[in-house]
Amino acid sequence: MSQGAAPLDSGWVDEVLLAGPDADPCLHLGDPVSREALRRLVADRQAALADAGVKPGGAVALCLPPSMAFIGNLLAAWRIGAQAILLDHRLTPFELDRALEHLAPQALVSVQHADTAALRGFVEVRDQVRPRPGRPAAGPQMLVQLSSGSTGPSKVIGRTAADLVAEIERYTQIDGVPRGGERIVSLASMVHVLGLVGGLLYGLNAGVLLAIPERMTPRGILETVAAGPEPTTLLGVPYHIELLTSVATPPPLPQLTGMTTGGELVRTAVHEAFIARYGVRLGNMYGMTEVGVIATDLFGANRPALSPAPGLTVREADGELHIAMDGTPYLGETDPSRWSDGWLHTRDAGTVDPETGLMRVLGRRDSQVSVGGLKVDLTEVEHTLADLPEVEAAVVVFDKAIEAYIVLREPDSLARVEKQLADRLAAYKHPRTIHVVEQMPRTATGKLVRDRAALRNAPRADSQLNPAL
């Protein structure tokens, strides 16, 4: 996964992603899409990009919602041999202008018209391609993404075609991943690595039908699962699991074989509630934008431990998880605290069992703080709060003192939270302040935001509590 590795020929799109019988359905966004129809769409968008001046070695930014237009333009850019820069369609105009100024693509594909509605899983889009005074790709990276920024500013991450093909190959070797003839119902954004590689690219390569719900509501998701007879795996993040567990009595879904979640570990109460309601496995996947899937436990056999994905080397160094990588995945100046000497520093605290190879992710490395000379793991405090039945969501941060931000299920339940926290945590671990907010800020992938500025700006639902426990 070296920044200097030679890129694959642009023919990899045809060989790895578009190959297959013409009539076989490969996508379902409202209607089934055959391989032949997808190839026609890609050829059409390829011509439009070329007319706008996009050439091999060029760079094009895509700012499109989940849609056939997004898929067609992405594969078309790669088929030309150009770099595709993915920008979330929910960026404000100010954020988009800043990103374009920094990344300087030579063209921008954006929405000319879209049939939008709240909670849509995909939309019908008429796109437009606009040339820009940008610069060609500076290296062999064919995919550029911004990290989710859940703990601060986003980083610019580049991956080569070889990186993407290697990750697809890792998926094919993981037990529990859907196989040809099966179906993935993806709830994860295709702008980010889980939905992009774990859903779209792997599905196209493996002959797994990728379906996206028309509406991202519990009913819309379950109706999409019920719409096809194929063995079906749900793909999403913890937010989607909490959404689905809000359904007290789901309909019979004999085709549902399980769900795989990326991102943070699902809290115990939600994990148990999902399995009780749906009677299927709930697997966990750990990954990063920089490298893709890193470790999995798709059957819940080792929870909360995970097995490293085939072909990856993971080590524990001073309590931090490191991933072997030949070169830095970051574009621009290399930060030695993020990558050095062939190792990606995840900044996640964790352990690797020397005998079994199983690894555990213990939270962000920067979640370890000192309070009065005593070490406190903010992840422990956060998980303790989140596991309380009165708490819908919780984030714990440190700014001279421990602070918690929570969303309550019932407005008058704060006193019960205080009492249970006193029973479960030593006094020095207690948040000095608990802020009750109406809604927790989240990233585009559904991760809870831990940036203190964003949390302070969250609308307050009630007075804050200064526990004297």
- Residue 163 CA to residue 7 CA, distance in Å, equals 9
Question: Are residues 380 and 352 both part of a single domain?
Answer: no
Report whether 83 contacts 77 (CB < 8 A). yes
Question: Are residues 405 and 448 both part of a single domain?
Answer: yes
In one-letter notation, the amino acid at residue 129 is V
* pLDDT digits 0-9 by tens, 84-102: 999 988 888 888 998 899 9
Considering only residues 363 and 209, tell me which one the structure prediction assigns the higher pLDDT: 209
In a 13 Å sphere around the CA of 368, the CA atoms on its Cβ side amount to: 10
Span of 160-164, 322-326, 465-469 with lowest mean pLDDT = 465-469
In a 13 Å sphere around the CA of 68, the CA atoms on its Cβ side amount to: 23
Indicate the pLDDT class of residue 462, thresholds 50, 70 and 90: low
Tell me if 364 is assigned to some domain: no
Cα–chain center distance at 127 = 25
pLDDT at residue number 444 = 64
Question: Are residues 198 and 264 both part of a single domain?
Answer: yes
pLDDT at residue number 424 = 87
pLDDT at residue number 407 = 92
How many domains would you assign to the chain? 2
Question: Are residues 161 and 117 both part of a single domain?
Answer: yes
Tell me if 1 is assigned to some domain: no
Tell me if 258 is assigned to some domain: yes
- Residue 120 CA to residue 221 CA, distance in Å, equals 11
For residue 284, the tally of other CB atoms under 10 A from its CB is 25
pLDDT at residue number 443 = 75
**Quick check: 5 pLDDT over 60?**
no
Question: Are residues 347 and 388 both part of a single domain?
Answer: no
b/e map 121-138, b = 16+ CB within 10 Å: bbbebebebeebebeebe
Q: What is the mean pLDDT of residues 113-140?
A: 88
Question: Are residues 430 and 347 both part of a single domain?
Answer: no
CA 297 vs CA 11, 258, 281, 331, 360: distances in Å: 34, 12, 10, 31, 11
pLDDT at residue number 206 = 97
Rg of the chain on CA atoms, in Å:
22
Question: Are residues 405 and 350 both part of a single domain?
Answer: no
Cα–chain center distance at 176 = 19
Question: Are residues 143 and 245 both part of a single domain?
Answer: yes
pLDDT at residue number 334 = 63
**Quick check: 208 pLDDT over 90?**
yes
pLDDT at residue number 8 = 43
**CATH for 330:** 3.40.50.12780
Q: What is the mean pLDDT of residues 33-41?
A: 98
* pLDDT digits 0-9 by tens, 262-279: 977 787 888 999 999 999
Tell me if 466 is assigned to some domain: no
Considering only residues 398 and 307, tell me which one the structure prediction assigns the higher pLDDT: 307
**Quick check: 460 pLDDT over 90?**
no
Tell me if 463 is assigned to some domain: no
pLDDT at residue number 207 = 97
**Quick check: 153 pLDDT over 70?**
no
- Supply the angle between the helices 378-386 and 414-424 in degrees, to the nearest 10: 130
Residue whose C-alpha is closest to residue 102's, from 114, 90, 117, 85: 85
Q: Which of 359, 381, 397 is the C-terminal boundary of a domain? A: 359
Question: Are residues 354 and 382 both part of a single domain?
Answer: no
Tell me if 462 is assigned to some domain: no
pLDDT at residue number 468 = 41
Indicate the pLDDT class of residue 19, thresholds 50, 70 and 90: very high
- Residue 348 CA to residue 364 CA, distance in Å, equals 4
**CATH for 393:** 3.30.300.30
pLDDT at residue number 119 = 80
Tell me if 248 is assigned to some domain: yes
Q: Three-state SS for 456?
A: helix
Cα–chain center distance at 422 = 34
Question: Are residues 332 and 404 both part of a single domain?
Answer: no
pLDDT at residue number 4 = 38
Question: Are residues 92 and 127 both part of a single domain?
Answer: yes
* pLDDT digits 0-9 by tens, 44-96: 999 999 999 999 999 999 999 999 999 999 999 999 999 999 998 888 888 89
Q: Which of 335, 359, 383 is the C-terminal boundary of a domain? A: 359
Give phi and psi for 205, each to the nearest 5. -70, -40
pLDDT at residue number 150 = 47
Strand duo 256-261 + 281-288: pairing? parallel
Q: Which of 328, 359, 390 is the C-terminal boundary of a domain? A: 359
Residue whose C-alpha is closest to residue 176's, from 52, 266, 70, 260: 260
What are the start-end ranges of the E strands in 237-327? 256-261, 281-288, 292-297, 307-308, 314-317, 320-324
The sign of the torsion formed by the CA atoms of 344, 346, 352, 358 equals negative
Indicate the pLDDT class of residue 16, thresholds 50, 70 and 90: very high
How many Å from the N-terminal Cα to the C-terminal Cα in the chain? 51
Q: What is the rounded average pLDDT for all residues in the chain?
A: 89
- Residue 159 CA to residue 330 CA, distance in Å, equals 9
CA 294 vs CA 74, 187, 315: distances in Å: 24, 20, 12
In a 13 Å sphere around the CA of 23, the CA atoms on its Cβ side amount to: 0
- Residue 240 CA to residue 358 CA, distance in Å, equals 26
Q: What is the mean pLDDT of residues 179-208?
A: 96
Tell me if 204 is assigned to some domain: yes
In one-letter notation, the amino acid at residue 68 is M
Range of the domain at 432: 372-456
Indicate the pLDDT class of residue 218, thresholds 50, 70 and 90: very high
In one-letter notation, the amino acid at residue 220 is G
Question: Are residues 205 and 73 both part of a single domain?
Answer: yes
% of the chain exceeding 70 in pLDDT: 93
